[in-house]
Amino acid sequence: MANVNKIKGRIGILTGGGDVPGLNPAIRAVTIRALREGYEVIGLRRGWAGIIEVIRDPKADNSRNCQILTEEVVNKAGRTGGTFLHTSRTRPTHVAKNSVPEHLQSTYDQEKNDLTPEVIKNLNFLGIDYLIPIGGDDTLSYGVHLYKQGLKVVAIPKTMDNDVPGTDYCIGFSTCVTRTIQMTNNLRTIAGSHERLLVLEVFGRYAGFTAMLPTMAGAANRCVIPEHKFNIDLLAQLLVEDRDRNPSHYSVVLISEGAMFEGGEMIFQDKSTDAYGHAKLGGIGDLVSEELKVRSAKYNNGVQVNTINQKLGYMVRGGDPDAIDSIVPMAYGNLALDLILQGIHGRLVVLKNGRYDNMPLDVVTATKKSVNVSQHYNTERLRPFYKSFEMKPLFIMTSE
């Protein structure tokens, strides 16, 4: 696909990292508005991977790597979950030797290769004037890198964990919380029928927002989060007490996947890591469930309390977006176009204190966003604080 001059320019859009409901509405919003403003929009497929694999030859078939977006294409996908552009966890600065595209292998033959020069050349070949990456802090950190290399980047935050710095809200978070509450309420009927402790592992590598909000909304009695290493005996005592007080004789705890026992570390499925160095988490819920069953006897007259253990995992990722993850992506897409129409770039579109705004893009790499434990989490009761909500943002907790 050769560079073709357009009236106003060409916008490239991509989705990277994990999929979430709300990505397709964001792509739709960008495309519809851009087309009406006189721009052409190119969907870059499979995140940063698609750009890396572009072959710079006008006769080459790059349909696997990019596609021209039309109203018909985005309207069809705009109401659905996932991302029709597909996604990956590719990190162009650290491409493994066996992942380098075949046509580049004679140039890049190290164990880890920085393909940024190829990314820039490929974006120029495609005629991309503005780039809109939609992703979490990993995907957007590479967007920051490209911006510092001189590319015009306007970014949109998404992640179920809601942990991109600079914004109160990331696409996917509301649907994740909604699904978590629904599934917890479904499973509590089983816990009540058998008078058990219900242990649910939820998303949240470094930030516990996805456990905190459902608990605050009443879906669980307790939650443990990555920001505070928890005492398993305290958790067992509290859950047995909750069970005793409940007429249906059960209690519920949400476990962030990144939660850690007091004196312990994160629990990983294996030793493999993704392109950004993250090992796959999973298993803390299993361990907590086993320990609770054994330790519950101490607080239940010597009798163990059985547990129900479930990892919610991808079930909260799947399906259509909820109302908020249909509305916010629409607004974020239009915010991104507002900036482009003004010739502004190097920005991250955000929600701050209930209002749409934008921030310098490098806020993504300048800090971390996590639960403020002293302000929001009761470490003695292993649950959120319920204090004054006056003038708090919609989802109560931010990193500020």
- Cα gap 81→90, rounded to integer Å: 21
Helix or strand or coil: residue 154?
strand
- The reply to whether 114 belongs to the active site is no
Which residue do the tokens 């908020």 mark? 324
DSSP output for 279-290: EEE--HHHHHHH
Q: How many CB atoms lie within 10 A of CB 356?
A: 16
Output DSSP code: residue 133: E
CB 154 within 8 A of CB 336: yes
DSSP output for 161-228: T---TT-S--BTHHHHHHHHHHHHHHHHHHHHHHT-EEEEEE--SS--HHHHHHHHTTS-SEEE-TTS
Here the tokens at position 103 are 């046509």
CB 239 within 8 A of CB 274: no
Sequence-ordered list of residues with C-beta below 8 angstroms from that of 314, at least 6 positions apart, any chain: none
- Cα gap 133→263, rounded to integer Å: 38
Of the residues 19, 137, 138, 161, which is catalytic? 161
Which residues does the annotation mark as catalytic? Answer: 161
